Structure 1
Amino acid sequence: MIIITGAAGFIGSCLVQKLNDEGFYDLVLVDDFSNENKNKNFEGKRYSKQVNRDVFAEWLRENHLHVQFVFHIGARTDTTEMDVKLFNQLNLDYTKTIWNICTEFGLPLVYASSAATYGLGELGYDDDESRIPMLKPLNPYGDSKNDFDIWALKQEKKPYFWAGLKFFNVYGPNEYHKGRMASVIFHTFNQIRETGSMKLFQSHNPDFKDGEQMRDFVYIKDVVNVLYFLMHHRKDSGIYNLGTGKARTFLDLAKGTFKALDKEPSISFVPTPEDIREKYQYFTEANMAKLRSIGYSQDFYNLEDGIEDYVKNYLVPGKFL
């Protein structure tokens, strides 16, 4: 059996599809399945069992002999949420529990970290583990991810193989339920469809013009390819960046979405909401040398090709991955 936590969510459900495509069907989906809005993400996919996240730790202890691999993708990912106790419960402590069980029973583990751990990028975007304790995330979500990375690195006892992946700005099918946290491509598509135009955030940083804020946008198909690679690799444990290594502007992203829809760009700018303005990342770019060094050699989608695939093959026809 292969475990996927967060299996009803964006990345988790796309990983389920990837595993199905590769001939893996004995999958255990773990999530809070009470959110019916996400159920479309795993409809039509093949799996063995659903386990509610509240009883998963107990279930894993009882069934560890049948488990081959654990993907812990589930997390509270709302960067605007300020309840530290909630993040400690769902991100930090929950992941510690899974880590300890995997260590005890010899189960390989890949878990989701985040590029939010890099904060404003004062120390760059290099996944050098010696720098991780010095990082300064901008919100409780980033803190919870960085706190776990620090804790994991300090442990004397670890799973025989483990990897933490710092996801950068992931976009693609199955993110429709994320609301405000969905990618700007998703929001651009919907705004164009509803109004014929797109409103991007203004820059409140004199070093960046409006729309020229830059992020490392990585397509979900690349993300699940890396996850699949690590499932088979099972060596070189550690914490890895997962982006493309190439920062692009939000203007590039919006223009690419208009192009995929065969429409002329109509873009304006609105003030960045005050609740995120002071904690806004103006630039992220993953250093991908470490993942490449352990043998991952596939090319990543460039932004234009990723947008075109997402818009034409998923958003327009209303399909899921």
Structure 2
Amino acid sequence: MTGSTRPRPEVLVTGAAGFVGGHTVRACREAGWAVTALDVREVPAATAPASDCVLGRADHAPVLADLRAGRYAAVVHQGAISSTLESDRAKLQDANVRQPLALAEACADSGALFVYASSHSVYGTIHRRIAVAEDSEEDASVCTGPLNRYAESKLALDREMAGRYGSGAAWVGLRYTNVFGTGEEHKGQMASIISQLLRGAAQGRRLTLFADTLKACRDYVPVESVARTVVALLRHQVPSGVYNLGSGCPVSFATLLEWCAEFSGAELDVRLVPNPVADRYQYWTCADQSRLQGVLPGGRPELIEDVRSGAATLFRHFQEQWQQRANGC
């Protein structure tokens, strides 16, 4: 009919009050999607203006009913217990395995795409300084596999998805490395270590690191890059399965300290302390990005300049916050 408009495709984003979930909501909305934001906590108004907000768990019955009825073209599941210190297996099983599987089943029933957050932690300690591919979690010559119950729960979901659906449904699991950016301050010690160091340097505080980790390297990826990748997956159909999502660019703690000193223009106060978890510490993380880059149009690896640029932007954000607080704003 002349003058009529087609409704925008709608996506459900869980964990919308959280760090990656909040950025995902904004990126989807900016890409033209109608968004329903779901979380067990109130979603900040700044995160979801013009979005429907639902207070509830990922397996909220009315949401599952809407999903089965075809309301959503896609679900992006960012909700989870993300603490690596959580020890309650039943709690982790419910939040990180059972609830997302309920979403996945409803997606399979309706034909909606299901995208969910997995974790690079499923690989555990890497024995060699190589970029780790998606099938490495079962190769003892490459890595140890999960080192904590959180990582075990993420691997359990990956295996359940592959076993139940294989290529018979539209789904993508994303094994995030160390995601960083604005909005994760509430996570405390669970915030990415790069964010913790940048925030401490911006505030002129002493920075504490384990003495044996200056040469240790982590794969850091800006949260904006993660959100862009999610939007790209909503636009382009890719083979179902699990994909690494990081920068593929390991950065040492020594380099992070150099960046902090450069950004602050001051000498850092650094304290090196003994490492009490040296036997299970991840001295190297680096994601092999080739599989994801091979299926997404325009896919390219992040460069160290991209990571440094993201770090500089976050440092300025923390510095401005600190200055506003000092001025009583």
TM-score category, normalised to shorter length: 0.7 to 0.9
Q: Describe the superposition over 1:241-300 as per-residue Cα deviations: whole angstroms up to 9, x where unpaired.
A: 11111111112123212322232333231233x4x5443211010001101111342452
Cα root mean square deviation, aligned: 2.4
* Partner secondary structure for residue 316 of structure 1: helix
Question: Does 2:197 align with 1:188?
Answer: yes
Question: Does 2:249 align with 1:241?
Answer: no
Q: 1:103, 1:157 within 8 Å by CA — same for their partners in 2?
A: no
Query: What is the distance in 1 between the residues matched to 2:149 and 2:285?
Result: 19
Query: What is the distance in 2 between the residues matched to 1:105 and 1:122?
Result: 42
Q: Describe the superposition over 1:106-147 as per-residue Cα deviations: whole angstroms up to 9, x where unpaired.
A: 110110010000011248653344x44556200000000001
Q: 2:173, 2:243 within 8 Å by CA — same for their partners in 1?
A: yes
2:302 to 295, 300, 303: 300
Question: Does 2:85 align with 1:83?
Answer: no
Query: What is the distance in 2 between the residues matched to 1:99 and 1:128?
Result: 21
1:29 to 31, 37, 57: 37
Alpha-carbon deviation of 1:224? Answer: 0.9
* Partner secondary structure for residue 218 of structure 1: strand
Matched residues, percent identical? 25
Q: 2:249, 2:302 within 8 Å by CA — same for their partners in 1?
A: no
Q: 1:121, 1:284 within 8 Å by CA — same for their partners in 2?
A: yes
Query: What is the distance in 2 between the residues matched to 1:195 and 1:265?
Result: 8
**Larger CA Rg, structure 1 vs 2:** 2
1:43 to 33, 41, 46: 46
Q: 2:38, 2:57 within 8 Å by CA — same for their partners in 1?
A: no
TM (norm. structure 1) is: 0.86
Cα 1:196–1:48 change in 2 (3 A) is closer
Alignment of 1:145-224 (within 5 A): 145-156=154-165, 160-203=169-212, 210-224=213-227
Query: What is the distance in 1 between the residues matched to 2:280 and 2:16?
Result: 29
Alignment of 1:256-275 (within 5 A): 256-272=259-275, 274=276
Alpha-carbon deviation of 1:202? Answer: 2.1
Alpha-carbon deviation of 1:58? Answer: 1.1
Q: 1:114, 1:142 within 8 Å by CA — same for their partners in 2?
A: yes
Query: What is the distance in 1 between the residues matched to 2:314 and 2:105?
Result: 37
Count of residues in Structure 1 that have an aligned counterpart in Structure 2: 303
Q: 2:74, 2:114 within 8 Å by CA — same for their partners in 1?
A: yes
Q: 2:248, 2:286 within 8 Å by CA — same for their partners in 1?
A: yes
Structure 1 ranges of 4+ moved more than 6 A: none
2:229 to 205, 226, 231: 226
Query: What is the distance in 2 between the residues matched to 1:28 and 1:50?
Result: 6
Alignment of 1:63-102 (within 5 A): 63-64=66-67, 65-102=70-107
Q: Which residue of structure 1 lines up, in the alignment, with residue 313 of structure 2?
A: 309
Query: What is the distance in 1 between the residues matched to 2:312 and 2:203?
Result: 19
Cα 1:45–1:318 change in 2 (3 A) is farther
Query: What is the distance in 1 between the residues matched to 2:267 and 2:195?
Result: 18
Q: Describe the superposition over 1:36-86 as per-residue Cα deviations: whole angstroms up to 9, x where unpaired.
A: xxx55x525324322233374412332122111100011101111211111
Letter in 1 for 2:41: F
Query: What is the distance in 2 between the residues matched to 1:255 and 1:267?
Result: 11
Query: What is the distance in 2 between the residues matched to 1:258 and 1:224?
Result: 29
List alignment gaps of at least 5 residues for structure 2: 1-9, 323-329
Q: 1:99, 1:159 within 8 Å by CA — same for their partners in 2?
A: no
* Partner secondary structure for residue 127 of structure 1: coil
* Partner secondary structure for residue 93 of structure 1: helix
Question: Does 2:125 align with 1:116?
Answer: no
Query: What is the distance in 2 between the residues matched to 1:128 and 1:188?
Result: 29
Cα 1:104–1:125 change in 2 (3 A) is farther
TM (norm. structure 2) is: 0.84
Q: Which residue of structure 2 lines up, in the alignment, with residue 206 of structure 1?
A: none
Q: Give the stretch that moved more between structures: 293-302 or 58-67.
A: 293-302
* Partner secondary structure for residue 77 of structure 1: coil
Q: Which residue of structure 2 lines up, in the alignment, with residue 60 of structure 1?
A: 63
